[in-house]
Structure 1
Amino acid sequence: TIGSLWKRLNQLGAEAGIETIRLLSEGEIKTFCQPKGKYPTAPKVKSSDFILSSEMSCEEANRLVRACNPFYGAYYEINGKKIKIFEVDTLACNQKRKNPILRFRDGELAATIIEDEEYGLMSGEKYISKLRDNLVQEKS
């Protein structure tokens, strides 16, 4: 995930920074100004970039979820509500269907960690339990 990459790069960046300071202080690095000019930039990230679509393949959806974890969360609509998906799993690992099922072009994935505006961050299994509790309360 982007979170695990972030941790590894933080460590490498700290080590590179220490080494760079040492080399600069010893006069081992020649510095120069970047030439003026127009340089390409990455496109700005938009919230629409995080939407999970049923037209995606399971692999595309899994990659988007991993890319958005832990900072953004990929979005999926369940029962008319947008929820953030932070982790998915293949259905082979979810035989009992304990988690919300997300349908994609070539299959299904189980949402194992999600965030809902009403309930907050939780496991998919707990989310299903909360939905069941609400249905029971509405029928009473």
Structure 2
Amino acid sequence: MRIVFAGTPETALPSLEALVGSRHDVAAVVTRPDARQGRGRTLHPSPIAARAAELGIEVLKPERADDPAFLDRLREIGPACCPIVAYGALLKRDALDVPEYGWLNLHFSALPAWRGAAPVQRSIMAGDEVTGATVFSLVEALDAGPVLGTITERIRDDDTAGTLLERLAHEGARLLVDALDHVEDGDIAAVAQPEDGVTYAPKLTTDDAHVDWSRPAFAVDRQVRGCTPAPGAWTLLDGQRVKLGPVTPTTDDTLRPGEVQAGRREVRVGTATTDVVLGTVQPTGKRPMAAADWARGTTIEPGTVLA
């Protein structure tokens, strides 16, 4: 089947690779325009654009998904179906109507849970034990189309948003190819999502990553892991922002919420329940370091409270 793949970040790469290795013909990819990065603010292609160029696949980079020139080129290519993973732009009816079998979206949750931009992060932060990935037919409503396939994945005790998303990206790529195979074979039917159980996963903000030490250790642990690697959990010491890597809850309840205690080998912070041990710490303008190393170079008076 002739297809056009849409995606932008590294998360979409496993799907592109799986599709290229499948029985389907990847005629082109659609991705976001080049973005400025680094101190020099130079333009860089998206990971999908860069990989497609290496593979000799045509790359389309419309500023807007409803750009007439883009739509004309899409119609010229004539894909039967368009798989899409983390493309990053809204597709309207003119684009949705181009492929005969529509657009098949790989979303990193077990829909209808966690519709939106940050399903993996929100699932971890909510304390879910299980999440998943879903392939569904794209409609104009947010992640609300009928489902063609779902897999589930246990959230491990040490999972960050980064590690969990990496697993889901690879498992989801196989699910996407399998769904596409069945669409071509005509032996699959999409099933409408249930109306109950819908939750939403808006993009994380910097405020979402501000650690709330007044919450239980379980919630602090989940908040930090859900914000790792981006946008990065943080707290304030003497008014200065400090980024935090994943923490380890303990069984000890010795400190007030936010109170920090620096020992020779570890740094603890109190929560609403038990203390947590800090992992890595990154002061502003410096590289991440072990919490004990950070504490040795920082003045932490007894009774100091992180805000």
Normalised to the residue count of structure 1, the TM-score between the two structures is 0.71
For residues 13 and 82 of structure 1, what CA distance do their matches in structure 2 show?
Answer: 36
Q: Does 1:7 align with 2:7?
A: no
Partner deviation per Cα, 1:68-112 (whole Å, 9 max, x = no partner): 12222221112321111111124579x955333322223322211
For residues 166 and 203 of structure 2, what CA distance do their matches in structure 1 show?
Answer: 23
Identity across matched positions, percent: 20
Partner deviation per Cα, 1:105-127 (whole Å, 9 max, x = no partner): 23322211122222222221221
More helix by share: 1
Query: Which of 113, 116, 119 is equivalent to 2:280?
Result: 113
**CA 1:99–1:21: 2 relative to 1, 3 Å:** same
Residues 16-25 or 40-49, more deviating = 40-49
The correspondence of residues 66-81 of structure 1 with structure 2, limited to 5 A, is 66-81=225-240
Could you say what the CA RMSD is over the residues aligned between the two structures, in angstroms?
A: 3.0
Q: Does 1:82 align with 2:232?
A: no
For residues 114 and 72 of structure 1, what CA distance do their matches in structure 2 show?
Answer: 14
Residues 102-111 or 14-23, more deviating = 102-111
Structure 1 counterpart of 2:42: none
Shift of 1:25: 2.2
**CA 1:19–1:91: 2 relative to 1, 3 Å:** closer
Shift of 1:129: 3.2
**CA 1:40–1:129: 2 relative to 1, 3 Å:** closer
For residues 68 and 40 of structure 1, what CA distance do their matches in structure 2 show?
Answer: 19
For structure 1, the 5+ residue unaligned runs are 32-38, 133-140
Shift of 1:41: 5.0
Higher relative contact order (CA 8 A, sep 6+): 1
